[in-house]
Structures are given as C-alpha cells and as structure tokens.
Amino acid sequence: MAIDVLERGDLPFPRSLPEFQRLFPNESACAAYLERARWRDGFVCPRCTVADEPYRFANRPTVLRCRHCQINSYLTAGTVMERTHTPLSVWFWAAYLVTSQTPGISAIQFQRQLGLSRYETAFQILHKLRVGMVRPDQDQIGGKPGEHVEVDETYVGGRTRGEGRGVHHKTIVAAAVEVRHRKRDSALNDRRNSRYAGRVRLAVVSDRGADALCGFVKSVVAPGAPIITDDWGGYAGLTKYGYHHASVAERGDPHVAEEFMPIIHLVFSNLKTWLRGIHHGVSPQHLQAYLDEFTFRFNRRFYPFNAFRSLLGIAGDATSLTYAEFYATKSRPTTSSSLGG
C-alpha cells in the first residue's frame, strides 16, 4: 500500500477519545507533536542547518527561534493550520473527529462538539479539512505481484421512480479496486473470504463507451496490471492498452458477480450507503468531490493515523517541505546575502 506518511512509534495516535485528551491536552502538547513530526531527531534550523535547541516562547508555542541565525521557524508552516487564529488543539480535535467518526458530520454538530462560540469557525475548519480529503490520490493502483484489479461502473444518485424505465438523472461512476489475498492460515478462509480490497479509485464518467471507460482505467491503473471486468464491450480494448484483461460473463447472475468480482460490488454497496447517509443527498456537480472523500477514507481505513496527519498537512518528514514553507514573509531576513544565495 502506498502510504502517504509512515507510521512512527514516536508519534502516537490516539485510539479513543480519552486517549486523545491525554495526548493533546493543550497548545504546547500539540506544538510538541508538530515539532516531533518535523524534526524526528531534534530541531535543525532550516536556514542555517545548525542542529541546536532553539529559543522557545511560552506564549507562542508554535515559534522556534534559531540561536545562531535568529530566524523563526513556524510549526504550522505548510500545514492546514498555517496562519490560523484557532487553537491547535481545536484543529487536532477536528481532524480526529473527521477521521474517526461517521462521515457527513455537519458544521453545527462540529461546532457543538468542539465547543466553539462561532459557527463560522467550525465551518471553516471543516471546509479546510475536507479540501485535504478531496485532493485526489494521484498514483496509479495495481501492478503488485499477486494482486489484480477489479473494474466496473455503476449508476449513482437521481430518481427513476415514476419516470419509467431508465436511468434518468443518474450519474455513471467508474471504479477500480485492488484485490489482495490474505494468507491462508485457517480452514475458514474460503476462496472469497480470503480476498479483500486494497486501494480504490473512483471517477464520474460521461458514458459507458470504450473511450470513457478505458480512459478511466488508463488514468488510474498501472500499465500491465491484471484486470477483471464484466463482459461489457466498453472494456474490450483493455488488452490493446497493455493490460492483462479477463472479462467475466456476468449476465445479471449475482452468483457470478459474487464469485469473480466480489470486491468491486462491495465498494459500490459501501459507496451508495455512504452517499445516502449524507445530508440532503449529493448533486451530480458535487459528486466527484464526494467520490474523492470516499476514496480518501476508504484507502486509509486501516490507517486512521495517516488520515489524521494527512488532513492536518503534517508531512512527518522535514525534507518534504520546501525552504520557503518554513518562513512567514515577515520573518525573512532583510538582506539577501544572509539567505546564502
């Protein structure tokens, strides 16, 4: 699995609300967490690269000042909390709720949970965290030994009732999901139960034609990966694009679907349940954003820790931040020579 941030024993992730409160009781605890995420082995000035204990300020826990070049480093730089006036503890709490609670939490519920006096603050936090979730995962899935990818499309949303046969107002969603295998360590592991979903990719497609469906596959599945689809003609060209393609004649038989493409049907079922649970439903123009949010949650469902840090924008790796991101404009040295070129 492509993990965006690595598990680190020195950055514990709370497994419960009481544990959360114990780990992040105040601003300085949150700041210390950000500091450890960025500098695993202690502070190193990003400007002069001297590794030395920085100056700290009791009333500004997110600022570290280098003793050698006097430059301030801001712990929230490059994170979703950059330049925020909201306490870090509120952000941490918000990210925890979003990554661990059922989706579809409203800003008003959020405001109550966080004990915020202003609705707008809750709304802004939720919005910023959601932006992090709907930033699509870009890398292609599939292609690992022993894995294959199931691809299918389905209709989502809209109403057909009372409007006769057809798929009025519905949007077509294409999906690709990695299928992995558990080690057969027990007799209970029958063939179907030994499979489980890896990463998923979802996209709204314009129609069920070959251009749309093969185009989707090419953009999200690694070249050469083994792919299983049903025998719909829209997928017939996949071999031509270099995939090891097997098609299954489903013909509406649920047993065939269950046997050969169980995982993608599970994904669709989860997706539809989740979409139905979202307040007011989802309009077609917003569907892709919700698909991206579903994807974010789904792909990190075993890694709430990664989801938490990923939402807050904590890279957990100093090298992933650019030089400029460490500085607010005001803290830049006034002479260019002191920047060292």
* Interacting residues toward Zn ion by CB under 5 A: 45, 47-48, 66, 68-69
Residue with smaller CB distance to Zn ion, 69 or 134: 69
Residue with smaller CB distance to Zn ion, 17 or 50: 50
Whole-angstrom distance, CA of residue 152 vs CA of residue 172: 10
Least Å from the CB of residue 341 to Zn ion: 15
Would you tell me the crossing angle of helices 88-100 and 27-38 to the nearest 10 degrees? 70
Least Å from the CB of residue 77 to Zn ion: 15
Q: 195-205 and 60-65 as β-strands: parallel, antiparallel, unpaired?
A: unpaired
Q: From residue 156, how far is each of 35, 70, 211, 293 by CA, in Å?
A: 43, 56, 20, 15
Residue with smaller CB distance to Zn ion, 17 or 339: 339
∠ Cα 288 292 298 (to 5°): 140
Least Å from the CB of residue 60 to Zn ion: 17
Least Å from the CB of residue 117 to Zn ion: 39
Residue with smaller CB distance to Zn ion, 45 or 225: 45
Secondary structure (DSSP) of 111-145: HHHHT-S-HHHHHHHHHHHHHHHSS---SPB--ST
∠ Cα 148 152 158 (to 5°): 150
Q: Considering only CA atoms, which of 37, 60, 34, 55 is closest in space to residue 45?
A: 55
Residue with smaller CB distance to Zn ion, 52 or 211: 52
Alpha helical stretches, state H, 3-159:
17-23, 27-38, 88-100, 107-114, 119-133
Give, for 74, the enclosing helix (H) or strand (E). strand 72-74
Q: Provide the 3-class DSSP secondary structure of residue 11.
A: coil
Beta bridge partners of 336: none
Least Å from the CB of residue 45 to Zn ion: 3
Residue with smaller CB distance to Zn ion, 69 or 248: 69
- Tokens 């892709």, located at residue: 288
Least Å from the CB of residue 339 to Zn ion: 11
Least Å from the CB of residue 68 to Zn ion: 5
Residue with smaller CB distance to Zn ion, 45 or 125: 45
